[in-house]
Structure 1
Amino acid sequence: MLTRNPKIRKGLFMALCCLIGISVWGSPVQANSNADSYNYSYWGRTVASPAAYTATGSVNGLDIGIGILKEPSDIQVTSDNYIYILDSGNNRVVILDQNYELINVIDSFNNEGSIETLLNPQGLFVTQDKKLLIADTGNKRIVELDKDNNLIKIIEAPQSELLNSTFDFQPVRVVADKAQRIYVMSIGVFDGLMEFNAAGEFNTFTGANRVNVDPIEYFWKTISTQEQQSKMIMFTPTEFTNLDINEEDFLYVTNGDQWGDNIKMLNAQGSDILRRNGYFKPMGDIRYFADEGPSRLVDIDVADSEMYSVLDAKRGRVFTYNGDGHLLYIFGGLGNKLGEFKTPTAITRMGDDFLVLDKALGEITVFQTTEYGRMLNEAVRSYYRGDEGEAFNYFQQTINMNSNLEFAYGGIGKALLRQGDYKEAMFYFKKSMDQKNYSKAYLLYRKEVLREYFSIIMTGILIMAVVISVATRYRKLVRRKRGISIE
């Protein structure tokens, strides 16, 4: 017999929904660490895909000539292709040129006559004018150096009414915008990113994650006693796991939220404005084995033309999306072969190449584009620039190499839509299952047809009206002649 307790009924319903979700999304698919290249269809199925990137080599500390890299945690490539590696275990920053030749090693700095060192630093960021920001985690501070490695300032634990008396400042990631505002991700902070002004003064928190509830945990809370509930996990916002910033100073962040949005794009007000118009929201793998769980995103890299890539530490894969949230390609994996990782921890781009940092192996794996990857990247860039003709050609070549990429059909449809070829655009939107743009193209095509045949249609209507009028009068005249009443 069904219970009449509304709390228990609600809990049972949520548990049932959760089990259904696990059976749908947690079914075994090809998305394991040793899978070939794949993508996801409109229906959520894994489909074969050509490799967009292939590993061409790896670089470690011995290759560079500086000894073993010990648990490196972050990497960044500047606009002039200098590579900054945060060698956390050795408490230093290693700088290379684009040929992976050593330029400099920063392991200390002068602070008013005192030589200071780093302690287990976890994050770095290089500004456009070559200022270096280091999240010096072990020393609980942010260190900012100029291009000549002279100390600019140190940001230590701030004093603010927004922070409680037990607050422990442990910065692990840091970025800065063009206005020299500094955004810091600190361990144990659930209120969002910490924002500091150019002088290093704490302003506020920004972009706090919402609380998302695990349905199973919620179910047990609804039917548990007060004593049992006190021993359960509290519902608190998740921490961010990494961040990056684009040329327009929008912040891209990842977090460990399994039930909400684990990728966000934050504006100046801290609001999430990431577009999620793809077949599925950006989140890494959308299907996986139930005992593995969803992707655990640990880094994000923002490229040009609104493309961005995220790194999944759980399965060692890199997922790249366009600005609308369509999944472009996937590469990487866990294993011992070239192009696979043990503990991937950070990603960055150098031109179109990807550099993936492995914390456990202490090495960088270099990935270069295949012809398929180049075509797809250029298709996205062309469309972003508004070059419809070029975008059409690149998307067409992409489809010739991968007919399973439904998103590319939509790209061709959008290019045709901009060019005014509405009928052909409808064909491609139908193939990409893009109902919204199909309806838009249909309405425009209908207007075009009506405009083209308006004179013919109106002429036909007038002729029909005249014919009907003449026929009616003739009929009445005939009936009068025959003496038949018209009433």
Structure 2
Amino acid sequence: MLVYFVMPHAYAAADAPYYTYTSDSEGYTIKTQAAYTPGAQISVINGQRLEMPEHVFVDDQDYVYITDSALNKILILDGNFRFYKELASNKFSAIKSTFVTDQSIYVVDTSANKIMIFDKLSHTLVQEIGKPDSPIFAEGYEFAPTHVAVDVRGNIYVRSTGSVNGLIMLNRDGEFMTFFGANPLKVPLLDQLRSLFLTKVQEEKVQKVFSDVPSNLAIDKKGFIYTVTSSVETNPIKKFNVSGTNYFPDRMVGTFSMESVWIGNHNNVFAVSADGWIFEYDSYGNLLFLFGGKDFNSSRLGLLNRPVSMASNSADELIVVDQGTKIIQTYRSTEFADAVHQAMDAYQDGDYQKSKELWKYTLKYNSLFDKARIGLGDAYFRDGDAAAAMEEYRYAKYNPGVSEAFWEIRQSWLQNHLNIVFIVFLAVLLAHYVHKYLNRKYGYGPKISGAFRSVRTIKIVDDLLYVFTFLKQPLEGYYQIQYENRVSRVSSTVIYLLIVMLLIVHYEYASPLFVQKQGYVVYELASMVGLAVLWVLSNYLICSIADGEGKFRDVYNATAYSLSPVLVILPPLVLLSNGLTLEQSVFYHLPVQAMTIWVAFLMFFMIKDIHNYEVGETVSVIFRSVFTMLIIGLFLFVFYSIGRQLLGFVHDVFAEASKRW
């Protein structure tokens, strides 16, 4: 007898008691259409109520194997969730999980610390695997299996309680081969220093404290091993090849307490957390869908109390073991999720035209679904349309795709216009030699120089052009600024304004591959200007107290010219950035770093020379100036908060008075 608690067949996505989320190209989670809706709840199988369900496994024929440690048996359902068989044995003491191949059923008994292998058809016991006969286990290394996975060669990957070295890898005969897929050891710096003075036994104890032991594992048809670790948040799921290399990103979307991992039919990866959240990732570890939630005894269909295991079948139905409520909860995929899966399959199969049509179909459900934009861009790119691909990538703000598509467009442009580039180069070279010849013959060079010198007689022009002289000899420049009044406050103000304009141009027109355009340029500029004003004021106040010789005018002017490397480097950098891809990012970041170091160098010597300090005094003044900036900033924040509350109070008083009047 099989008891179902099933919602009506027309259960709508909008009726799901939870929201569905996805992640955009920048890693932020956003709401999207429902990907899965709650299906059936199974609590009684063949007249037996589930008492302590521990694990679920679905084989290639869609048979569902449910392990119950209290019943001490494995209940087997067919593809329609109807009772088929059960596997019980007098050798079972406390079974925990199963893994099923074409010929065998692997059962993990945690009490006996054994892996029992049964024939899949006859259910006869074929083999028992206990603690391996290896020196490392003879020396006391614990063998306490809870979950296993088996590859096509019969090698067994064992998740063992307390195995700080990762999974235990055994051959088909149960002989120890190696450890596999360990999490990186995360030891705080202080404990790393202490470990230098620890004995070997003490080091092993420290390793156990700071090691993250995998909670569960899975294997796909290509032989990749997946582990999930409940004590890790940012990269809880890892995808290992046979050499132990992790293919999933270190900053993938995840959470603590992720308990189970499963590989779907589309190279997608499912995971469930103890808090009731169900995650679906693509084959690269990018979050596709996130849904579910904690059921706090409300018995709402689809919410989970304490899930411990999950699996999926060929119909993309999810099967989750909820140990808290002692039920098996199923979920059905929606048309939206089916379209996403089919588009992924078409792309992986090389049918890019079908993939494009399916991704466009998913965009009808949600035009802001970045995964569809990226998938559509991938399909365009593989189909040879790099321009259309870049447009989709840009819409999704997917910089790696934009970079790759732009590289392809740039290569094509260079191939088609290389002759024009060559002609322009020759024309410039020819113009240079023609100029030299004509200048020697007619001598118009001195006239141009004279006209240029006449322009420099204008004070503001001369002060601005002094920037280039200053950058060649900055120390001499500080002396001329302070003692010879070489520049004016007007020219310094113009330099400040030019820097602000260049920052706006950099934000608006530099390649989005290198500049994140969030739409807050005014706020960012206001913050930068505020910090600059705060720095000039704080530094002047501190230097006045510390017997600095510079006047406020000197600090104002010298600071402007100390920032002048921005005027020299930023304009060509904006142009250069639009011809670079991410692979050539060093040609963007290196000038930015050089500009920053150059400005910092000039600012340091500005303080030192303008105020006539020694090096040690200069360092001290800089730290005190920064501290003063923090104090002034805190004062302004408190003043703003109190003023805002006062204005709100006055507004409320007048509003109340006007109503009573």
- TM-score w.r.t. structure 2 length? 0.57
Q: Which residue of 2 aligns with 1:329?
A: 289
CA distance in 1, matches of 2:278, 2:218: 15
CA distance in 1, matches of 2:305, 2:134: 41
CA distance in 2, matches of 1:256, 1:214: 20
Structure 1 residue identity aligned to 2:260: D
Stretches of structure 2 lacking an aligned partner (at least 5 in a row): 1-15, 196-201, 443-661
**Within-5 A mapping of 1:41-80:** 41-61=24-44, 64-80=45-61
**Within-5 A mapping of 1:154-233:** 154-163=128-137, 165-213=139-187
- SS class of match (2:392): helix
CA deviation string 1:73-126 (max 9, x = no partner): 111111111111111111001111112221111111xxxxxxx33122111100
Say if 2:377 is the partner of 1:426: no
Say if 2:85 is the partner of 1:104: yes
How far is the alpha carbon of 1:448 from its aligned partner? 2.1
Structure 1 residue identity aligned to 2:409: Y
CA distance in 2, matches of 1:325, 1:252: 11
CA deviation string 1:428-484 (max 9, x = no partner): 11122222221221121122234345567778889x79x989x99xx99xx9xxxxx
Cα 1:419/1:359, change in 2 over 3 Å:
same
Say if 2:325 is the partner of 1:361: yes
**Within-5 A mapping of 1:66-465:** 66-108=47-89, 116-129=90-103, 131-147=104-120, 148-163=122-137, 165-213=139-187, 235-258=209-232, 261-269=235-243, 271-276=244-249, 281-284=251-254, 294-313=255-274, 315-335=275-295, 336-351=299-314, 352-453=316-417
CA distance in 2, matches of 1:203, 1:443: 45
8 Å contact from structure 1 (residues 190, 236) kept in 2: no
CA distance in 1, matches of 2:210, 2:350: 43
Cα 1:347/1:81, change in 2 over 3 Å:
same
8 Å contact from structure 1 (residues 212, 235) kept in 2: no
How far is the alpha carbon of 1:304 from its aligned partner? 3.2
8 Å contact from structure 1 (residues 184, 193) kept in 2: yes
8 Å contact from structure 1 (residues 82, 96) kept in 2: yes
- SS class of match (1:200): coil
How far is the alpha carbon of 1:41 from its aligned partner? 3.0
Number of residue pairs the alignment of both structures matches: 414
Cα 1:75/1:452, change in 2 over 3 Å:
same
Query: Bigger shift: 141-150 or 326-335?
Result: 326-335
- SS class of match (2:94): coil
- SS class of match (1:320): strand
Structure with the larger RCO, 1 or 2 (CA within 8 Å, 6+ apart): 1
Structure 2 residue identity aligned to 1:376: V
How far is the alpha carbon of 1:176 from its aligned partner? 1.0
How far is the alpha carbon of 1:255 from its aligned partner? 1.2
Structure 2 residue identity aligned to 1:203: M
Structure 2 residue identity aligned to 1:419: D
8 Å contact from structure 1 (residues 91, 117) kept in 2: no
CA distance in 2, matches of 1:370, 1:399: 15
Structure 2 residue identity aligned to 1:398: T
CA deviation string 1:244-297 (max 9, x = no partner): 01101221011134366321112223x132232xxx83342xxxxxxxxx4311
Query: Bigger shift: 330-339 or 79-88?
Result: 330-339
8 Å contact from structure 1 (residues 305, 384) kept in 2: no
Q: Which residue of 2 aligns with 1:36?
A: 19
CA deviation string 1:357-381 (max 9, x = no partner): 1112222111111111111111111
8 Å contact from structure 2 (residues 281, 288) kept in 1: yes
CA distance in 2, matches of 1:391, 1:171: 42
CA deviation string 1:220-263 (max 9, x = no partner): 999xxxxxx99999643211100001101221011134366321
Greater helix share, structure number: 2
8 Å contact from structure 2 (residues 25, 398) kept in 1: no
How far is the alpha carbon of 1:47 from its aligned partner? 1.8
Stretches of structure 1 lacking an aligned partner (at least 5 in a row): 1-32, 109-115, 223-228, 285-293, 480-487
**Within-5 A mapping of 1:6-25:** none
8 Å contact from structure 2 (residues 133, 175) kept in 1: no
8 Å contact from structure 1 (residues 383, 391) kept in 2: yes
Cα 1:221/1:35, change in 2 over 3 Å:
farther
Cα 1:168/1:326, change in 2 over 3 Å:
closer
How far is the alpha carbon of 1:174 from its aligned partner? 1.1
8 Å contact from structure 2 (residues 231, 256) kept in 1: no
CA deviation string 1:100-156 (max 9, x = no partner): 221111111xxxxxxx33122111100122x00000111221110002111111011
Query: Bigger shift: 432-441 or 84-93?
Result: 432-441
Query: Bigger shift: 163-172 or 135-144?
Result: 163-172
Superposition CA RMSD, Å? 3.3
CA distance in 2, matches of 1:169, 1:404: 49
- SS class of match (1:89): coil
CA distance in 1, matches of 2:304, 2:193: 38
CA distance in 2, matches of 1:164, 1:261: 33
CA deviation string 1:401-450 (max 9, x = no partner): 11232222111111111111111111111122222221221121122234
- TM-score w.r.t. structure 1 length? 0.77
8 Å contact from structure 2 (residues 38, 331) kept in 1: yes
Structure 2 residue identity aligned to 1:282: M
Greater strand share, structure number: 1
CA distance in 1, matches of 2:421, 2:186: 58
Cα 1:408/1:281, change in 2 over 3 Å:
farther
CA deviation string 1:138-179 (max 9, x = no partner): 122111000211111101122321225444432110111111
Cα 1:219/1:202, change in 2 over 3 Å:
closer
Structure 1 residue identity aligned to 2:62: N
* Percent pairwise identity: 26
CA distance in 2, matches of 1:261, 1:327: 12
How far is the alpha carbon of 1:187 from its aligned partner? 1.4
